[in-house]
Structure 1
Amino acid sequence: MSETRRHSSRVAPQANAAPDEATLVDADDARHLLVRTGFAPRAEEVAPYVGLARADAVARVLATARTEPVVPMPAWVAQLPPSREQRRAWTPEARLAEQRERGAHYDELRAWWVREMLVTPSPLTERMTLFWHGHFACGQDKVGEPRLMAAQNATLRRGALGSFASMLHAVAKDPAMLLYLDGASNRKGRPNENFAREAMELFTLGEGQYTQRDVTEAARAYTGWNLDPDTSAFVWRADLHDDGEKTVLGRTGAFDGDQVLDILLAQPQTARYVCAKLWREFVSPQPDDAQLSDVADRFRASRYDVKVALGALLLTPAFWDEANRGVLVSSPVEFIIGTMRRFEVAYGDTLPLARRSAALGENLFYPPNVKGWPGGAAWINSSTLLSRKQFVDALFRATEAARPAKPHAASEAKKSAASDLTANAAMNGAGRNAMQGGMRFDLDGWLAHFGLEADTVPALSAQLQMQHAVLPLAPVDAIAAGSNAGAYLQALLMDPVYQLK
């Protein structure tokens, strides 16, 4: 990185702190921390972190953790589904209407979560909820009832920075998971191995850390976990449980499902596997073996406290290393939400934003398969890169001289997500113009942070300030000499580096 991209504000380490933890955070460091642990921050969100020791900055981020959303979930989330008797009485037309309503509710749920990510005072909470949504992947293709996916989302948010062990047990009995991995059809004499396999391969141990016999035996332990046919709630069916002796990962006993999960949690490999995924999410594509081992040891010693693991991860030398900045690709959700938050873009309906994310490859509540989204470089291809640039282009078509009161102010955060449906009806059929018409970007207002207006030609110092504010590295594409501030900013956002974090 060019020396002009960084400036030093380092001090001698404090007596009782490791040198890296005592190093003071500058503005670039603060943006790096906030981008990696949330979405691109607004200018006023960066300032409080500047001058803090790294340990204090990380503690400040972790202290924002929440367990409940700011935006109320749609009212239908709390309603019971139709009973068996009601479903049997449906006419073909009523059944079709129910399917359409479920599709509309899924759209409303996506719009709700996008709104929550836009207004949350804890971007870290939503980023971690999104991470666990990919780790414990479930989707609309096999979970027809959106109410169940909404309930799972709430479970993941409550556990996002809490106990991984508790969350694993909760998700294993989650109705959406029981449907998605066929656990509800797992019974004595006819064990279904899907959940048993994914619990080992995807949730705890990783590939190559177990045998087929371990899967077969574990599947027997999970028999009897079922769903109430009227409410879709988890129920225990002792008559469907195989209470015989099983051998899993070298341990033998008449295990039930919870006991097998505890066996998985007892393996040192589980802490290492989960921490490696967190490393690839927050630090770099390739973990440093020694530093990862230290984080995994702390995670396991804490009895799987996610906040402990993440705190240790964010204080590794690797996280702050210049070589690891700009090496991760922003997911579609991070790209869209980060852009909206960084530039304080006003908006109305959030469903078009959710649909834009889906078009870029990240359809909330609908991962591509049981492994979730592959992430990394897989987010970018010629089609998705073009679509990302079209989003930036739409943003600059939505500029205005004076920004009105933004719908994402605190008062708006308390409105029901059901309001999105009203806006959807008005905007249906508007297509691409709806996306542009739903955003309002006060370009001059944002440029005022740098003493500029859109038509002003920025001096070199202002150009560098703008680069620092929006890019993790220097731009790779040349920008035409004499470009005014508006054109210069647009060129920065069109640069491939804008896709990185």
Structure 2
Amino acid sequence: MRRRAFRLNIALLNELWNRRIEPPRRYAPPLLIQGGEFLPIAWECDRKPMTAPFAQPAETVQALPEREPDEFRAWAARRSRSIGGWLLLFVGWLGGSVALALDLEDTRHLLDRVAFGPTPARVATLAPLSREEAVDRLLQASAPSPPAPAWARERPFPDRRPLATRSEAERRAWIRTRNQERDERQRALQAGWYRQMLAADAPLVERMTLFWHNHFTSESRKVRSPHLMLRQHQLYRQHALGNYADLLRAVATDPALLIYLDGHRNRKAHPNENFARELLELFTLGEGHYTEDDVRAAARALSGWRLDPVSGVARFNPQQHDAGPKTVLGRTGPWGVEALVAILLEQPRAAEFLVEKLWREFVAPQPDPAEVQRLAHLFRAGGYEIQPLLRALLLSEAFWAPEQRGALVKSPVELIVGTLIRFDLDPPADRRLLAAGRAMGQELLNPPDVRGWRGHTAWIDADRLLARERFLRDVARARTAAAGRGGTPRAEEVPRDLLWPSGVGSAAPALGDPAAPEPGMRVRWVEAILDPRYPLK
């Protein structure tokens, strides 16, 4: 339990008992029941300390905050044996669940991990809530999908048939024009995604869309179709917090992935194992949890899927599918895509693998094996629903542990989006925005390879650290120039609690020797974003 929670609750019980006060200005449920004990928790109340009839005569409420947590727990246990009946009655009268209220540091930590960073509006929304309520608020937030661009209605691949009657010069000009058009549309997709993250009403949906893009990776450089990359992006957004089994089935025949991993070339007579290998190794089970025979059998199960050249939709061709018996992970039968996905999800390792990856994304670089087992069991028992899994992960003790504060390094996208929203800054022009992300090592829709971005300390090699500093200094200069031109002034100082963890945990990577301002003090934001702690979350 957090020490700040040990306040005034016995006084509140007594004052309510005597009908002496009106409801306090700030409400947080007053009791935590844990292991049969009744533990008072946070409640703000501007009343003078009083001797409580539930406490021993000399034991005033004013003395309670000085107790250490273990001592306080023992004290509460002694008190609960004598007043347990009254406390149960009191909790029943409140009619609600009990939970710890957030403080500013908790709010910053939660928003940095799952929502790109705190903004005044988000802090105001979450600050009065408990941890459970805040996590639920973020999980339940929804927003309409952004409208598709007009060109999305066109065919995904240009019709090349008329080129047969063109001259060589005309063909080259046509190809050059099509390539320029494709590149412009690709940049528009990338910039549009940034704008969606900057304006997100459901930031956790955006974070999970980015997570899935880095899990089920595709490179637009190879796919060479903005249409198919847009459809894949829409697929990840649709299933961001949905059902993992549904997402995995959809991914297995996603046109962009079929092109990227050569699945559209996988035919009965000439099987291609690339998609099958990555499906087992990088998407579901991990290295060491399958055999080469499993890869070959899975490739046969995935055979027969082709792309319609006009619509870009994946079509099943039974003539090109290997319908013979195959043995995958000990199961034998005439398996196809649906059956293969079902077999993969039967493996306990499938749930563990995804939990480990989510742990590294949201909690810490090194997963806790016991917690992974617990969460994986919950995930499988819940039918592979993503939202309950995330809820359990974000409410785990490890997520809130002091030693994990600042233990992760923000990705370039998190740094860019978080800086702009945290300080209410106007984004730079699209080309500069995309160039900044690329220089820092993260180009949206173009991960470096099928393993995706490695994350964490891979973001902060020497070149990328310099690119981060250049971006932050450019932001500072642009903001100063805008103010000099008579732009809308914004606060020059911000509460340090919204910038970085108040006490960077033991698991945090070392990025320099920062100053150590006192909690609650305000710092100049230009100095703040150049502090070595700022890239941590």
What's the TM-score bracket when you normalise by the shorter of the two chains? Answer: 0.7 to 0.9
Match of 2:490 among 415, 423, 445: 445
CA positional deviation for 1:25: 1.1
Match of 1:169 among 225, 249, 259: 249
What residue is the counterpart of 2:530 in the other structure?
494
Residue 52 of structure 1 aligns to a residue whose secondary structure is coil
Once the two structures are overlaid, the 10-residue window that deviates more, 167-176 or 224-233, is 224-233
Distance 2:280 2:515 in 1: 50
CA positional deviation for 1:441: 8.3
Distance 1:89 1:215 in 2: 44
- The answer to which structure, 1 or 2, has the higher relative contact order (CA under 8 A, 6+ apart) is 1
What residue is the counterpart of 2:462 in the other structure?
382
Q: Does 1:72 align with 2:147?
A: yes
CA positional deviation for 1:13: 1.1
**Residues 197, 417 of structure 2: 8 Å contact kept:** yes
Per-residue displacement from partner, 1:289-332 (whole Å, max 9, x unpaired)?
21221111111111111101101100110000010110000000
Distance 1:473 1:497 in 2: 10
Larger-Rg structure: 2
Q: Does 1:364 align with 2:444?
A: yes
**Residues 343, 441 of structure 1: 8 Å contact kept:** no
CA positional deviation for 1:348: 5.8
Match of 1:471 among 497, 500, 504: 500
CA positional deviation for 1:479: 5.3
**Residues 346, 441 of structure 1: 8 Å contact kept:** no
What residue is the counterpart of 2:11 in the other structure?
none
Q: How is 1:70-469 mapped onto 2 (pairs within 5 angstroms)?
A: 71-81=146-156, 82-86=158-162, 88=164, 91-347=171-427, 349-400=429-480, 444-447=489-492, 466-469=495-498
What residue is the counterpart of 1:49 in the other structure?
126
Q: Does 1:8 align with 2:15?
A: no
**Residues 84, 229 of structure 1: 8 Å contact kept:** no
**Residues 142, 201 of structure 2: 8 Å contact kept:** no
Per-residue displacement from partner, 1:93-139 (whole Å, max 9, x unpaired)?
10121111111111111111111111111111111000000000001
Distance 2:526 2:424 in 1: 15
TM-score normalised by length of structure 1: 0.82
Partner amino acid, structure 1, of 2:32: P
What residue is the counterpart of 2:71 in the other structure?
none
**Residues 128, 160 of structure 1: 8 Å contact kept:** yes
Q: What percentage of residue pairs aligned between the two structures are identical?
A: 42
CA positional deviation for 1:474: 5.3
Residue 315 of structure 2 aligns to a residue whose secondary structure is strand
**Residues 58, 311 of structure 1: 8 Å contact kept:** yes
Distance 1:347 1:205 in 2: 39
Residue 247 of structure 1 aligns to a residue whose secondary structure is strand
CA positional deviation for 1:194: 0.6
Distance 1:196 1:274 in 2: 18
Partner amino acid, structure 2, of 1:22: A
Distance 1:34 1:318 in 2: 16
Residue 327 of structure 2 aligns to a residue whose secondary structure is strand
Distance 1:480 1:470 in 2: 13
Distance 1:129 1:235 in 2: 25
Distance 1:446 1:364 in 2: 31
**Residues 345, 441 of structure 1: 8 Å contact kept:** no
**Residues 193, 215 of structure 1: 8 Å contact kept:** yes
What residue is the counterpart of 2:73 in the other structure?
none
Distance 2:201 2:125 in 1: 14
| Closer, same or farther: CA 117–445 of 1 in aligned 2, 3 Å | same
| Closer, same or farther: CA 53–488 of 1 in aligned 2, 3 Å | closer
CA positional deviation for 1:9: 4.0
CA positional deviation for 1:477: 3.6
**Residues 131, 395 of structure 2: 8 Å contact kept:** yes
Once the two structures are overlaid, the 10-residue window that deviates more, 45-54 or 199-208, is 45-54
**Residues 22, 53 of structure 1: 8 Å contact kept:** yes
What residue is the counterpart of 1:27 in the other structure?
104
Partner amino acid, structure 2, of 1:49: L
**Residues 64, 122 of structure 1: 8 Å contact kept:** yes
Once the two structures are overlaid, the 10-residue window that deviates more, 87-96 or 29-38, is 87-96
Distance 1:308 1:17 in 2: 26
TM-score normalised by length of structure 2: 0.77
- Aligned residue pairs: how many? 440
Distance 2:124 2:5 in 1: 14
Residue 306 of structure 2 aligns to a residue whose secondary structure is strand
What residue is the counterpart of 2:85 in the other structure?
none
**Residues 37, 123 of structure 1: 8 Å contact kept:** yes
Distance 1:298 1:246 in 2: 31
| Closer, same or farther: CA 250–495 of 1 in aligned 2, 3 Å | same
Partner amino acid, structure 2, of 1:35: D
Partner amino acid, structure 1, of 2:326: K
